[in-house]
Amino acid sequence: MSRKIFLLLIVSFSFRFGFSQEYKGSVIRVIDGDTFVFQTEEGSLIVRMHGIDAPERKQPFAAESADFLKQYLNREASVQISGTDRYGRSIGVLYVNKQDINLLSVRQGFAWQYKQYSSDKKYLVAEKLARKRKRGLWAVPDPLPPWEWRKK
């Protein structure tokens, strides 16, 4: 059995029983501002960042959002995986030096809190602070959230 299939089976099995799993490794590719490929000793995972939604590729501020995440390429990191989405991607929180990068992305104005999937108050507070300080995407008036952009 290939390592990828084995890793996928382990991850899927864990979520069915309500477990989360921490993996150590590094981000080896940034797909966009909220999705990346994470390399572990066992194989690689495509990870959708939990609790946040970054601008879509053709949406304003998408490149800046992806560039923010790219600063963590090839750095020692961990990811706490809590499930999978409908596309088979792992859902997780990225940590570098024990810092929650998902939260930092929102705090710096590179993503919105994805309220449909997270009610975590720390993300709400981070987004309000970024809005107030006009950080990142909040520097432009009335930025369109990605979930509304996708409906168009």
Which residues have a catalytic role annotated?
Answer: 48, 56, 89
Phi-psi region of 125 (alpha: psi -120 to 50; beta: other; left: phi over 0): alpha
CB neighbour class for 43 (10 Å; exposed up to 12, middle 13-18, buried from 19): middle
Q: CB of 2 within 8 A of CB of 45?
A: no
* CB half-sphere exposure, 132, CA atoms < 13 A: 7
